[in-house]
């Protein structure tokens, strides 16, 4: 399969300014050198604790925030140059599903305008056939065409997220990034939205990146998973390999926290000591070493390199086995 997206050594450092002269005193190392690949038609999950940099990485891939350094290649085209961020073709080919299905929709605009105006702006429809094209998208996401006349406050949370999905499909994108697309919804509605995304991907041949802290959701929908910790990717592999044979100690701790539906079942819960270090002052060597039960002296002094354990299972750890 062809590679649709390739990210190489992506960094996003936010300056922290202080003093009377408002000079840069330090940086927040939100994303600190990550590598990713996404194949055409594939679903990649990015997981990790809150504050690990997964949303920032997604925004940088979409060129919604500027990256400090790194190379991003999309569909064979290098668009690392910041000047390319306003390219209309780029905006059509990559879209975003927001976490909050209410605040991401303009309360003053009808659904027909929310979905149809971008299509008209990019020349994919005329003013006369806009409503008809919007009706087709609404039916595709499980809503009726008559609902296009309504406003966001007249819908439930699940319906609003369906509207957000329809808007992301309006420009016929190749890639959709979902930033916690179901975390604000009830559990029963989450399953509906996840199944809708999977059906749309199969029907339209989309590539998806799902950013989430819900490991059960990621296991269900994703082909491959990348685990982030403090701005770095520590483990990447197929969903089956990563969930059943985790090699990095941080991944093992994350997976041990997934609730089990069977009340009689037992799981060896791994409790990590201490708190996540500040991204303004990350630890030397391996960023995870202050909380790692397997750390050795080399972990505190050197940054580990990525190792391939077969089948594309990549782990950034000295002691992974």
- Specify the higher pLDDT residue, 270 or 160: 160
pLDDT in tens, 81-102: 766 556 767 788 999 999 998 8
> Which secondary-structure segment (H or E) carries 96?
strand 94-97
- Specify the higher pLDDT residue, 80 or 168: 168
Q: Tell me which DSSP letter residue 149 carries.
A: G
Q: What is the pLDDT of residue 77?
A: 87
Angstrom distance (rounded) from CA 18 to CA 21: 7
- How buried is residue 238: exposed, middle or buried, by Cβ count under 10 Å (0-12/13-18/19+)? middle
Band of pLDDT at residue 260, cut at 50, 70 and 90: confident
Q: Is the pLDDT of residue 241 over 90?
A: yes
3-108+151-316: CATH architecture: 3-Layer(aba) Sandwich (3.40)
Listed range (39-43, 85-89, 141-145, 151-155) with the worst mean pLDDT: 85-89
- Specify the higher pLDDT residue, 243 or 262: 243
- Specify the higher pLDDT residue, 109 or 276: 109
CA distances from 269 to 47, 152, 178, 252, 256 (A): 19, 42, 29, 9, 5
Q: What is the pLDDT of residue 128?
A: 86
> Which secondary-structure segment (H or E) carries 59?
helix 54-61
Q: What is the rounded average pLDDT for all residues in the chain?
A: 91
pLDDT in tens, 194-232: 999 999 999 999 999 999 988 888 999 999 999 999 999
From its phi and psi, is residue 140 left (phi > 0), alpha (psi between -120 and 50) or beta? alpha
Q: What is the pLDDT of residue 261?
A: 74
Q: What is the pLDDT of residue 136?
A: 95
For the chain, give the number of residues.
321
pLDDT in tens, 287-304: 999 999 999 999 999 999
With both helix axes pointing from N to C terminus, report the angle between 157-169 and 187-204 in degrees, rounded to the nearest 10: 20
- Kindly state the percentage of the chain with pLDDT values over 70: 98
Listed range (17-31, 114-128, 130-144, 260-274) with the worst mean pLDDT: 260-274
Taking a C-beta distance cutoff of 8 angstroms, is the pair 156, 102 a contact? no
Angstrom distance (rounded) from CA 52 to CA 69: 18
CA distances from 144 to 120, 138, 149 (A): 21, 6, 10
- How buried is residue 34: exposed, middle or buried, by Cβ count under 10 Å (0-12/13-18/19+)? buried
Give the start-to-end residue ranges of the domains of the chain.
Answer: 3-108+151-316
Q: How much is the pTM? A: 0.92
Q: What is the pLDDT of residue 1?
A: 66
Q: Is the pLDDT of residue 41 over 70?
A: yes
Q: Is the pLDDT of residue 118 over 80?
A: yes
């Amino acid at each position: 399969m062809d590679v649709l997206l390739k990210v190489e050594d992506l960094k996003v450092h936010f300056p922290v300014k202080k003093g009377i002269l408002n000079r840069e005193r330090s940086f927040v190392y939100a994303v600190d050198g990550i590598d990713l690949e996404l194949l055409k038609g594939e679903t990649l999950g990015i997981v990790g604790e809150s504050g690990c940099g997964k949303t920032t990485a997604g925004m940088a891939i979409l060129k919604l925030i500027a990256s400090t350094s790194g190379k991003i290649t999309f569909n064979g085209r290098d668009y690392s140059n910041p000047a390319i961020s306003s390219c209309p073709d780029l905006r059509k080919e990559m879209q975003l599903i927001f976490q909050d299905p209410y605040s991401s929709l303009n309360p003053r605009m009808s659904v027909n305008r929310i979905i149809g105006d971008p299509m008209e702006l990019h020349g994919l429809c005329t003013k006369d056939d806009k409503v008809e094209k919007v009706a087709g998208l609404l039916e595709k996401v499980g809503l009726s065409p008559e609902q296009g006349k309504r406003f966001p406050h007249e819908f439930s949370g699940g319906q609003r997220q369906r509207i957000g999905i329809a808007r992301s499909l309006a420009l016929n994108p190749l890639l959709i990034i979902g930033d916690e697309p179901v975390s604000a919804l009830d559990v029963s509605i989450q399953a509906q939205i996840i199944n809708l995304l999977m059906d749309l991907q199969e029907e339209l041949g989309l590539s998806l990146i799902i950013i989430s802290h819900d490991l059960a959701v990621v296991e269900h929908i994703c082909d491959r998973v990348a685990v982030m910790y403090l701005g770095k990717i520590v483990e990447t592999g197929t969903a089956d390999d990563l969930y059943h044979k985790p090699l990095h100690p941080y991944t093992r701790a994350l997976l041990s926290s997934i609730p089990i539906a069977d009340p009689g079942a037992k799981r060896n819960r791994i409790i990590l000591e201490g708190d996540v270090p500040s991204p303004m002052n990350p630890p030397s060597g391996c960023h995870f070493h202050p909380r790692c039960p397997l750390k050795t002296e080399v972990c505190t002094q050197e940054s580990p390199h990525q190792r391939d354990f077969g089948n594309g299972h990549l782990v950034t750890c000295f002691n992974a086995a």
